[in-house]
Structure 1
């Protein structure tokens, strides 16, 4: 079996533990496709895995990388939709930091019209995450107001655009005026510099004291009770990460009085069937927006596969706006 270049985590730690090596090229099992990777996305869960805090699910590759775009190089038994040579972008159980990767065929989607490999690789992890938390679990409707923290992250830029495209109003937070301006360019009705203003007060002011209908939060920590205060009656809080820590002191009387729903999810451990369902929803509801140019991934920077450590350092600096990509 021929070898491929890849990036492995040599030991739990900082970006410098990512090292280039070679491994045997994987073979697709029944229901899977093998992708020749042209570009792979870099995401926060990759850094958590690198630090030893986010283990791969059983049977998944131990290599980091949860999304990639490329050409189908081989198909496993039972795969009928894809053929060798097809251009796809896919959600991965792991292994994206490599020249080849396997994934369930139903987790792949066609590359949108006119997209580069880098743009295509910037889609799946964030769009799957935003879809299930904002529109499925979060039940955001046209006319409602979404508050999304980290507006210039891959998640944030995606949530802003999709919420606006589906008729919602958007409030977001970011850490500089430059980042706030970028959020407004993407469609945010209000962008709050969290170093200078209280997002609870500003969100309440925009909604004439009512509060927002949904909060999408990846910060956690002391943001959790503040999110609850920012919510309107019958509001929903969707948690997807805890950059500020998973614990907080919460007054649950506010949850009862305002009839709030607190929810959250992680994507990687979900079943293949759930991920396939999300892929079908995205292809029906979101891919036409990508094909039309109504929504597009925001691109920050591209690194060679060998420079994966530099890509992680860029992400953890929080200076980036949009997606960071690796190219083999």
Structure 2
């Protein structure tokens, strides 16, 4: 070993952010194992690194005792005091046992330890860097795709997008720039694994934060999002400032703000409704664009369930294609919604006869 090792450790500390002391400590532990493996020793060993010379020294450690029962681990008080009169029973003495050819073993071990620590440090650095982006949007480059994933490069790391996180009908071409939502970051033995998504509702929220300054600064708040990715999304917004229209602000002049998000999501329909503290008003808003006549709650049976009465000519609009409008409204509000046409409610009220419930949860 030589001073070159010290220079290399200093460079690693600057370039990789790996503490020189951490590497030296790891090398000392590894060299103890290497010494015992190569020289068949079982004593208590210590390795010390001489930073001035860049050399490692091996020591066997023995305890000072009144009567020696195992010479590998113990030394008598008389023998210890021949070295120094200051030794007492219970003290420990280091005897240097560095072999003449230990430099080669030390160099090989040091190389292995450094490489291992560099890999660990790079994994941890990448994990620490990208774990900060969890729940955020990052723009990456599509690298390739297979039956399981679309691979998106961020430079230092390659993220994966599972099939369930890919927008239906969206084609991912190599070298295409793509905005993705960082859904999860895991620190595995093979390195940081970043999972990204184009279907997560969080993507929609972050896109609106980028397009609407009032959402970014908190003047307008996105209260809830219900999304069927690639098709339709409903967003509930509110503002504590009575002078601000949260829906109009989010939509933007001539719909420019919402259109920018729609374009990023390849034409996904986005409904923006006003959140209301009164559940009946919020539920009515959530079924937009359908008109709502009344919202009735059954607080005794199920306080999170309601019947929504709509005009007959708005029944299909309220339910939506394949029940989508009502389904998204239920997700947005957290209520189980049963939609009834006005004529059916009037029929029950007038005759008391039982009728089949129409609508959708």
Place the TM-score, normalised by the shorter chain, in its bin: under 0.3
Bigger relative contact order (CA 8 A; separation at least 6): 1
Higher helix share: 2
Higher gyration radius (CA): 2
Q: What is the TM-score of this pair, normalised by structure 1?
A: 0.26
